[in-house]
Structure 1
Amino acid sequence: MTTLRPLAVDDLFRFNNVNLDELTETYNQSFYLQYLSTWPEYFQVQEAPDGRLMGYIMGKVEGKGTDWHGHVTAVTVAPEFRRLGLAKTLMKNLEDISENV
């Protein structure tokens, strides 16, 4: 069982198991905080029952007025949790948020 929830600020200090993977693009703290403050609904994490972060998705809105779309900036899953369909779940959730928010 995993929990899909919005990223909390203190999660930024807990996602080394995800971000230290060589396939994951990493950013500085101010970049993550900018996304979190501007598009909080587009920044989601998946958490394991033991509290470890399994992966996250970070996105934003681009465009103006009625001509806009959701944009995925980063989606990544920790190596120990890959091949479980977590990224697919994160992407589906971001698509739903883009359509409904």
Structure 2
Amino acid sequence: MTTIRRFCCNDLLRFSSVNLDHLTETFNMSFYMTYLARWPDYFHVAEGPGKRIMGYIMGKVEGQGESWHGHVTAVTVAPEYRRQQLAKKLMNLLEDISDKM
């Protein structure tokens, strides 16, 4: 069973297995903390059995007035959890949040 929830500070110490994949761009801790502090509604994690992190999405809002929009900064799923439409679910969540905000 997969649970999608907001990313929290403790997840920064638990998501390295997802970031070790060569297709995933990684950032420094202060970058992740900035997103977590400024756009917490746009930072989510998919968690599987045993609280294993399966993937995450992080985004932000940018622009003003008519050009205001949500922006996907990173979306990644650990190799062993791919081909299950998890990234699609994370993207749909970010799109829904952007529409509501």
The alignment's TM-score, normalised by the length of structure 2, stands at: 0.97
Task: Output the aligned Cα RMSD.
Answer: 0.8
| CA deviation vs aligned residue, 1:55-100 (integer Å, no higher than 9, x gap) | 0000000101343000000000001100000000000000000001
The alignment's TM-score, normalised by the length of structure 1, stands at: 0.97
Partner of 1:89: 89
Partner of 2:99: 99
* Residue segments in structure 1 that go unaligned for 5+ positions in a row: none
Q: Tell me which stretches of 4 or more aligned residues in structure 1 moved more than 3 Å.
A: none
- Partners of 1:28 and 1:65 in 2: how far apart? 31
2:20 counterpart of 1:20 = yes
* Residue segments in structure 2 that go unaligned for 5+ positions in a row: none
SS at match of 1:41: helix
Q: What is the number of equivalent residue pairs in this alignment? A: 101
Q: Percent identity?
A: 65
- Partners of 1:97 and 1:46 in 2: how far apart? 16
Partner of 1:54: 54
